[in-house]
Structure 1
Amino acid sequence: MKFLKYVILSLSLVFALSCNKSDDTNPVEGTSKISVRLMDMPGDFDNVFVDVQDVMIKLNDDSEGDSGWVSVEAINTGIYDLLELTGGIDVLLLDDFELPSGYLNQIRLVLGNDNTVVIDGETFPLNTPSAQQSGLKIKVNQNLEPNINYTFLLDFNVDASIVMASNSENINLKPVIRASVEAQSGYITGMVTPLDLQVLIEATNGVETISTYADETGQFVLVGLDSGAYTVTATPRYCFGI
C-alpha cells in the first residue's frame, strides 16, 4: 500500500475593493442590476438533488412576513446536484435583472417537489416543506447603489443542511446558505498536486470555514470571502482509481 505524505499547494488571494454597506432602507432614485449564482460546499453524500423553481426578492421591506416578495423570473430553473457545484462551478439563476435601487433585504429560493438525496447508492426523498411553501429565505441586507451590477453568491452548506428526523426515517432539508456579494468579497484560487487525489480545500479566518474540492486538473477556487487573514489547508480524501 502506498501512503501519501505531502500534498503540494499553491494559491493566490484576491480581494475586491468595495463600498460600505448602509442600513438605510429608504428607496433611492435610479436602477441597479443583480445576478444570483448557486454553489455548494462539499458534503458526505453521493448526490443531493434540489428542484429550483423560482427566485424572489424583498426590496426596501424589513418585515418578516410574506408581504413584499417579488418574483424575478429565474432563468435556469430545474433540478441540480448540489455536490457538482464545487471548485468554482456554479449555476446562474438570475442574470443582470434590473430593479429599482434601494435596500435588498432578502433573497428567496423556491423549490419544487423533486428533491432527493443519494446515500451509499440508495435514493431517498428529501423533505423540504418550508421551501416549497414559503421558499428558502436568505438574508443579504445589501444597499443597491444606482448604475451598479451586483452578483450574489449563494453557498449551500449541504452537510449542515441535511438532517435525519428524530425517531423516523425521514430526511429533512433545513438549509444553511451563506450569502455574499461578489463585488464586495475576495477569492482564493490555486492548484494542488499530485492529480490522482480528491483533495478537500478549506480556508478559515477563525470565525467561519469555507471549503471546496480541487477539480481533476488540481485547480480550485474559494469565493465570497470577507477581507482578512485565512489559513488554507489541503486534505487528501482518496486516490482516484483505487
Structure 2
Amino acid sequence: MMRKQFVLSVLAGLCAVMFFGACSKTGTPGGTAKVDLRLTDAPGPFEHVYLDIQGIEFHTDESGWQSADVLLPGIYDVLKLRNGVDSLIASATLPTGTLSQVRVILGDENSFVIDGEQIPFKVPSGKQSGLKFNVHQELLSDGSYTVWTDFDVAKSIVETGNGAYIVKPVIRVFTELTNGRIEGVVAPMSPDYSVIVTATSETDTATAIPNEDGYFLMSGLPEGNYTVIAEPDSTSGLAVSTVADVPVKFGIISDLGTLTLAPAVVEE
C-alpha cells in the first residue's frame, strides 16, 4: 500500500471550532459566567481520528488568557462522538465580558486510522501556542454557556487521485438557538458494509454514519428543505434510499423514521 501523505498546514482549522449558545441571557454587569467545552464530530469514512487534548485556555478582552483544566487530559477518538454523543472536555468560571478566543493545546499523539493503517500527524504550533479560535461572545453575569467543537471529517479529509490525502477544513458552526436536526434509522445494517447518510439543501450539506443499530442524528443544520440519501457501499448489494423535501426548523427534530435499503437492481 502506498504510504498516505497529508497536507496538514490547515489542520488547525479542522480540529475544533467553538460556538457559544447562551442558556441564560439575564444578568447584571460584573460577576462571572459558567462555560462548558464539549467535543463532538461530524464523522467520515475512517476507522478512527485521534486528538491528544492536553489543555484549554479562554481569552476575554477584559481579563486576558485564563487556563482551564481538561477534565481527562489525553487522547480522544472523535469518531466515537457522533449521532448526538459528545464529551465534556473542560468547565470554567470566567469573568463577565467579551470572550474573544479559545485555545486548545494538543500533545504529540494525534493520528488517523484509514484502511487499518494508523498514521500520525503533527499540528503546527499545536503543542507550543495551541490552536486559537475566534469566538466574540458576550458573557453575562450568572450566564451559562455551552461550547461545542465540531468538524466534518467526511468533507475535511479528501483522498486524491494518487492515494494521498489532503486536509481541507470544513467547519460546522451552530448554537442552541440555530440548531436544526434530522434523525432516522437505516435498515438493514450489517458489519459487512458501511452506510453514509447525506442531507443536502440549496445552501448546506451534512453527513452522518449510522450506529450499529442504524440510528443517525445530524445537528446544526440551517433551516430549509433537505434531500436525505442513505447510501451503502458497493459491496452491500443494496440500493440507496432517498427521502425528498425534508423540512428542517430550529428547535424541532425532523424524524424520518426508517430508511429501508432495498436490494439493488442489476441491469443485464
- Show the counterpart of 1:116: 111
C-alpha offsets along residues 85-140 of structure 1, whole Å, 9 cap, x if unaligned?
A: 11112121123x21112111122211100111112111111121222222222222
1:208, distance to aligned residue in structure 2 (A) = 3.6
Residues in 2 aligned to 1:199 and 1:41: alpha-carbon distance in whole angstroms: 14
1:158 counterpart letter in structure 2: V
Q: Distance in 2 between matches of 1:130 and 1:217?
A: 40
CA-to-partner distance for each residue in 1:6-44, whole Å, 9 max, x for gaps?
A: xxxxxxxxxxx979x9xxxxx941221111111111123
Q: Which moved more, 1:185-194 or 1:81-90?
A: 185-194
* Structure 1: stretches of 5+ with no match in the other structure: 1-16, 22-26, 62-66
Instruction: State the 1:174 CA deviation.
Output: 7.1
Partner Cα separation in structure 2 for residue 195 and residue 143 of structure 1: 47
CA distance 1:199–1:141, shift in 2 (3 Å): farther
What's the counterpart of residue 185 of structure 2?
A: 192
CA distance 1:231–1:163, shift in 2 (3 Å): closer
Secondary structure at the aligned position of 2:71 is classed as coil
Q: 1 or 2, which has the higher strand percentage?
A: 1
Distance 1:104 1:181, change over 3 A: farther
Query: d(CA) in 2 for partners of 1:86 and 1:132?
Result: 26
1:150 matched to 2:145? The reply is yes
- Aligned residue in 2 for 1:99: 94
- Which amino acid in structure 2 is aligned with residue 122 of structure 1? E
Alignment of 1:87 with 2:83, yes or no, is: yes
Question: Once the 2 structures are TM-superposed, how far is the Cα of residue 176 of structure 1 from its aligned partner?
Answer: 5.0
After superposition, the C-alpha distances for 1:66-90 in whole angstroms (9 at most, x for unaligned) are x933211121221011221111121
Q: Identity across aligned pairs (percent)?
A: 37
Alignment match of 2:72 (pick from 65, 68, 76):
76
Comparing 125-134 with 184-193, greater Cα deviation is found at 184-193
- What letter corresponds to residue 51 of structure 2 in structure 1? V
Residue 181 (1) aligns with residue 175 (2): yes
**Pairs within 5 Å for 1:122-133:** 122-133=117-128
1:233 to 228, 238, 247: 228
CA distance in 2, matches of 1:78, 1:194: 35
Assess, with a 3 A threshold, how the Cα gap between structure 1 residues 236 and 174 changes in structure 2: closer, same or farther.
closer
Q: Following TM superposition, by how much is the alpha carbon of 1:179 offset from its aligned partner in structure 2, in angstroms?
A: 4.1
Q: Which amino acid is the alignment partner of residue 104 of structure 1?
A: L
TM-score normalized by the length of structure 2: 0.65
Deviation at 1:149, TM superposition (A): 0.8
Q: 2-side partners of 1:105 and 1:129: how far apart?
A: 21
| Range moving further from structure 2, 188-197 or 44-53 | 188-197
Give the conservation status (yes or no) of the 8 Å contact 2:75–2:109.
Answer: yes
Report if aligned partners of 2:41, 2:150 keep a CA contact under 8 Å in 1: yes
- 1:57 alignment partner in structure 2: 58
- Give the whole-Å Cα distance in 2 for the aligned partners of 1:31 and 1:155: 26
1:136 corresponds to: 131
CA change 1:91–1:108 in 2 (3 A) is same
